[in-house]
Structure 1
Amino acid sequence: MTTHRTTSLLLALATATALTAAAVPSASAAAADGPRSAAPRLDWRPCAKPGGPDAQECADLPVPLDYADPDGPRISVAVSRVRSDRPAARRGTLVLLPGGPGGSGVQRLAQKGTALQKELAGAYDLVAFDPRGVGGSTTATCGLAPEDRYLTALRSWPGPDGDISGNLARSRRVAEACAANGGAVLRSFTTANEVRDLDRLRAALGERKLSAWGVSYGTYVGAVYAQTHPGRTDRWVLDSSGDPDPARVARGWLANMGKGADDRFPDFAAWAADPARDGEGLRLAGRPEEVEPLVLSLAASLDRAPRPTTTPGVPLTGNGLRQAVQNALYGDSAFPGLARLLLALRDPRATPVLPPELAQPLRDQDASQMAAVICNDVAWPLLPAADQQRAVDEDRSRHPLTAGMPVNVTPCSFWKTAPAVPPVRITDRGPSDILMVQSRKDPSTPHSASLKMREALGGRAVMVTVEQGGHGMYLGNGNACGDAAVTRFLTTGTRPARDTDCPN
């Protein structure tokens, strides 16, 4: 995922062929959302993770492979919980919805559980799950070659001169492998099924309603659940949201990343040119406006001549550097590592050290799940090659840091199976119980895109905009003001009276 940061980086695509989307599930989907059988039993066992809460427990939730056939084959979803350590203060269950597609909820609970216990003062049992295809849940594989499972391949970076012929060939190859090898399990990896699995988990926990904290892709899962199960939501937090346009879904999320990088990069540039970096040996330039030309120049030089690295057989290419920059923009804590990499590239005697997420291919199961969710959710257009090339060329010119990657072709354009149901349209119909928290300078889900989610939710939501840059605000990249707003809502139900800002 894989690491949490890597999988949360792998947002991808959707299509203009599904121009209409229901505000509620189709009749068949709605019927499938509530299996007639009794709620499954969860047999909990200790499963504390290094650095996580000592009381973390795990269980396996059986779910239908196909909710249209609720008595048919079953697969397993890994779930985890940390029970409230103050039973008298407990008011319900808070579910953590991870990013991705491909993020592990079980890992996220281990990473954030202790901080949440302290912040929420026992108000909730904390619960998470690995979406089908992830971690301890039932997985599937496409049988992808290792070279197709590197992060720089899964993200469709064009060739050094912007040529997309390699992307077209790889996208077709991946789609054909998934069609040949993934089977019914891979076809079941959808947002709609993740939402159904979430409601089955609610029933297994014996809860009438759930509260939730969704981050990145998890905000979309959370928004769809709130739309399709409005009577089962309690206090709902959407942290770092993208545009929920049902005609595009992940294709729109990916396309917005060029704007996101442009919004966020000035934070790194200011940091890297600050005289305070002199004492750390990390200063890259005398002025912030010199940093982006430096990065672009180094990437261009790597396009011409990739540099050997400390990872045998894996050189650093221009696209590798571009991906490293994109990754580092997710949080200020990654700035020093990016600066060290750039400094090594300026030194002809140095051997660069690759960031871990670029040093080896992802597992076949992880790469397959990421592709499957975005391609199964909605149909993607297959443009003529010349039109696709033109779109990449224009985006490269408009957003040099992302070099055309956000609008490039992906395996979804060659996907062999049509979406089972159209994506849900997010609307303002339902209880007003949603708090959005969003960075104004988010490299993945830019503020301008999050406003589309805010507009769709209307009076159901209030939005807190945090001036701190990064992706994923609560208890991570945000600030005290934003964290306090989320904690206050989750513990007391109180939101700001209107949309508000949190300055640094």
Structure 2
Amino acid sequence: MSSNSPLLPRVKARGKLAVGALVTTLLGQLLAGTAAVAAPERISWEPCESPSGQGGFECATVEVPVDWRRPHSATIDLALARHRATDPERRIGSLLINPGGPGGSGVNFAFTAPDSFSPELLARFDIVGFDPRGVARSNPLKCDADRIEAQGALLFPDSPASFAALREANRALGESCRDLTGPLADHMDTGSVVRDMDAIRAGLGEKRISYYGVSYGTAIGQQYAERYPHRVRAMTLDSNMDHSLGNWAFQKTETDAVESSYGQFADWCARTASCAIHDGDARALFDSLYQRAEAGDLVLPGDPPQTVTPQDLQAFALRHMYDPASWFDFAQTLADLDATAPAATRSFDRYGEPTPYPFLSVMCQDYDLDVPSYATLARHERELARRAPVTRFSTLGWTVQTGCQNWPAEVTNPQRGLDVDGTPPILLTNSRFDPATPHAWASNAARQIGREAVFLTYDGVGHGDYWLSPCARDAIDTYLTTLKTPRENTHCPAVWPTDPATQRQSPNGDLVNPLPDLVGTGTYR
């Protein structure tokens, strides 16, 4: 799923806190052409600069069909960026990368490479990122802002009437995406992205690709390995999706992951004297804040005052489980909320106009999550709360489910087990306590892949092992450069935050975790 701590799609309603709403926006134009896609041509690169002004990059586009079933109809251009290998004589080839989302920019991911990837990867590979179809520079998906906001207010229905209103709002939103974007809105599924990625491989002139994908980027990698097993040189799947899950399995594993992650935070706080709520019980405090939010009594001072909903609180907690480096700030905010201190307002971000967000258009074409009635939804909510008495449920998993009810586009890439045969070894990694892509998802994906899969577990909390665990990062670097995998079922030790001043540095102190800025809270990263 992606983040400041990725997760719940958010939107800032006018004058109102809405951390738990689904984010998207209106920006950009669909640049759909009508020329047929010819035989793959080598990509033509031009020098370009990153948004930070850093040079040394190259940018390009690749033309692909909107509908791969009709390859000679309308086309779109996919945006690419690459960072050339710093040691050309030892260059292995291209390493395609994807930061997740759905909705994360692979181009921006590539622009972060000098600060985010190890010197060894930078030396040996051209780091190549692409914006998937409908994302950022690749013909961004456009939807009606008012309908985005209307849907966001209905994502947590509490009655048959509000569930019916949600279904109507979802359909209206999805239809607006189609009206404002054109045919691309109905072709956002991961299967189409997989075929796009193979067109990029061909344009790079690579017979086989190396790939590193995080979170939703693992879904792209898994399905690429399934469709094109003999075109894979090496593949690392970090923080894994599981595309085989039905609705209830999806919800309960997401909920279990958030509850266990928060439990790890609570235990860390109990043994860490510098945690702001060290002298209390972090579980009991969250429960107290939740009950105050349910009663409408959790109000932040301001002009006007802001009422914190239970879903705001849940989404806020979820976000801070993505990277323990934020736990000192998170604990202080919980303490401030408990005292309704003015400082608490600093931690609940305000948002302006919506920005492009193709999240639902992908998820609703990849997952069939329909529920037959509000009664079924309410039963799920009660059962999830029994499983997770502190956090109640995952706001990310929940809003994927509710946001897809009655979505107008066809589920063209529905859930199924993976059938991978003939690839080299594929390295899967996952945190034991990942709040967005549960450890159980990675374990299940590895079982589906079978003998080609090698599974490594990071025994800590968070999302995106490469920046959380030096042990996992070393294993990934070694595998990508030498094809030597770690032993099956290797475990890397947990890394816990020790210094309140350290927020964005990776545990080994020299790499910066780019995921929060690339994907944003509310996605699978």
- TM class, shorter-length: 0.7 to 0.9
Offset at 1:335? 0.8
Q: Does 1:383 align with 2:383?
A: no
Query: How big is each residue's C-alpha offset from its partner over 1:14-72, in whole Å with a ceiling of 9 and x where there is no partner?
Result: xxxxxxxxxxxxxxxxxxxx96523264342312232x863223222222111122222
Normalising by structure 1, report the TM-score: 0.83
Cα 1:92–1:211 change in 2 (3 A) is same
1:270 aligned to which of 246, 257, 267: 267
Q: Distance in 2 between matches of 1:7 and 1:179?
A: 30
Deviation string for 1:297-355 (max 9, x for gaps)? 11221232342356867543222111110000011112122122112112244252254
Equivalent residue, structure 2, for 1:297: 288
**Alignment of 1:430 onto 2:422:** yes
Report the Cα distance in structure 1 between the residues aligned to 2:237 and 2:160, rounded to whole angstroms: 35
The answer to whether 1:370 aligns with 2:359 is yes
Answer yes or no: is the 8 Å Cα contact 1:175–1:416 preserved in 2: yes
Task: Please give the root-mean-square deviation of Cα atoms over the aligned residues, in Å.
Answer: 2.9
Q: Hey, what does 1:417 align to over in structure 2?
A: 409
What SS does the corresponding residue of 1:365 show, helix, strand or coil?
A: coil
In 2, Cα distance between equivalents of 1:227 and 1:394: 35
1:5 match: 3
Q: In the aligned structure 2, how far is the partner of 1:309 from the partner of 1:93?
A: 52
| Partner amino acid, structure 1, of 2:254 | M
Q: Can you list the C-alpha shifts for 1:152-193, whole angstroms capped at 9, x where unaligned? A: 759x4456xxx5754552343032221244231211111011
Which of the numbers 475, 480, 502 marks the counterpart of 1:490?
480
Per the TM alignment, residue 385 of structure 1 is displaced from its structure 2 partner at its CA by: 1.7
* SS of structure 1 residue aligned to 2:356: helix
Tell me, what secondary structure is at the counterpart of 2:436? coil
1:464 aligns with 2:466: no
CA distance in 2, matches of 1:428, 1:306: 50
SS in 1 for 2:141: coil
Cα pair distance change 1:349/1:327, threshold 3 Å: closer
Question: Which runs of 5 or more residues in structure 1 are unaligned?
Answer: 13-33
- 1:326 maps to a residue whose letter is L
* Per-residue Cα deviation, 1:204-247 (whole angstroms, up to 9, x for no partner): 111111101111111111000011011111110010113230x6
Q: Report if the CA contact (8 A) 1:141-1:364 is conserved.
A: no
1:229 corresponds to which residue?
228
TM-score, normalised with respect to structure 2: 0.80
How far has the Cα of 1:429 moved from its partner? 1.4
The verdict on how the C-alpha distance between 1:453 and 1:149 changes in structure 2, with shifts beyond 3 A counting, is farther
Specify the alignment match of 1:78 in structure 2.
79
Residue in structure 1 matched with residue 206 of structure 2 by the alignment: 207
- 1:18 aligns with none
Query: After the TM superposition, which of the residue ranges 64-73 and 122-131 deviates more from structure 2?
Result: 64-73
Instruction: Tell me which amino acid in the other structure corresponds to 2:379.
Output: R
Query: What residue identity is the alignment partner of 2:456?
Result: V
2:8 and 2:232 map into 1 onto residues whose CA distance is 28
Question: SS of the counterpart of 1:353?
Answer: helix
Conserved in 1, the CA contact under 8 Å of 2:431 and 2:462?
Answer: yes
Match of 1:179 in 2: 175
Pick the aligned partner of 2:326 from 330, 334, 346: 334
1:322 to 310, 314, 321: 314
User: Out of 27, 38, 45, which is 2:40 matched to?
Assistant: 38
CA contact (8 A) 1:144 1:364 kept: no
Native 8 Å contact 2:276 2:332 kept in 1: no
The 1:262/1:379 distance shift into structure 2, 3 A limit, reads closer
Alignment-mate amino acid for residue 177 of structure 1: L
Give 1:448's aligned residue: 440
Alpha-carbon separation, structure 1, partners of 2:6 and 2:341:
34
1:149–1:436 CA distance, 2 compared to 1 (3 A): farther
Q: Unaligned regions of 5+ residues in structure 2, if any? A: 11-35, 495-525
Structure 2 residue identity aligned to 1:389 = A
Aligned to 2:241: 242
Of 59-68 and 401-410, deviating more is: 401-410
Tell me, yes or no, if the aligned pair for 1:311 and 1:354 is still in contact at 8 Å: no
| 297 and 108 in structure 1: CA distance in 2 versus 1, 3 angstrom threshold | same
Is the contact made by 2:48 and 2:56 (CA closer than 8 Å) also made in structure 1?
yes
Match of 2:196?
Answer: 197
Contact 2:113 2:122 in 1 (8 A): no
Contact 2:239–2:463 (8 Å) recurs in 1 = yes
Q: Which moved more, 1:172-181 or 1:134-143?
A: 172-181
- Tell me what 1:286 maps to: 279
Distance 1:271 1:166, change over 3 A: farther
Q: Is the 8 A contact 2:425 2:452 kept in 1?
A: yes
Aligned-partner SS, 2:233 = strand
Please give the secondary structure, in 1, of the residue aligned with 2:412. Answer: coil
Q: In the alignment, is residue 134 of structure 1 matched against residue 130 of structure 2? A: no
Decide whether the 8 Å contact of 2:6 with 2:436 is kept in 1.
no
How far residue 113 of structure 1 moved from its aligned partner, in angstroms, is 3.8
1:223/1:35 Cα in 2 relative to 1: closer, same or farther (>3 Å)? farther
**CA deviation digits over 1:352-397, x for unaligned, max 9?**
22546x522673531xx11110112243323122122111122122
Distance 2:256 2:126 in 1: 38
User: Which stretch of the first structure deviates more once superposed, 219-228 or 138-147?
Assistant: 138-147
Aligned residues: 462
Higher relative contact order (CA 8 A, sep 6+): 2
Give the fraction of aligned pairs with identical amino acids, expressed as a percent: 27
Question: Contact 1:99–1:217 at 8 Å: present in 2 too?
Answer: yes
Letter in 2 for 1:39: E
What's the CA shift for 1:85?
1.0
Distance 1:119 1:312, change over 3 A: farther
Separation in structure 2 between the aligned mates of residue 199 and residue 496 of structure 1, nearest angstrom: 27
Distance 1:158 1:272 in 2: 34
Q: Give, in whole Å, the separation in 1 of the partners of 2:214 and 2:490.
A: 19
Code of the residue aligned with 1:46 in structure 2: it is C
For 1:477, the equivalent position in structure 2 comes to: 468
C-alpha distance in 2, partners of 1:320/1:420?
Answer: 32
Query: What is the letter of the counterpart of residue 258 of structure 1?
Result: T
Structure 1 SS opposite 2:299: coil
How far, CA to CA, are the matches of 1:338 and 1:164 in structure 2?
Answer: 35
Residue aligned with 1:352, SS: helix
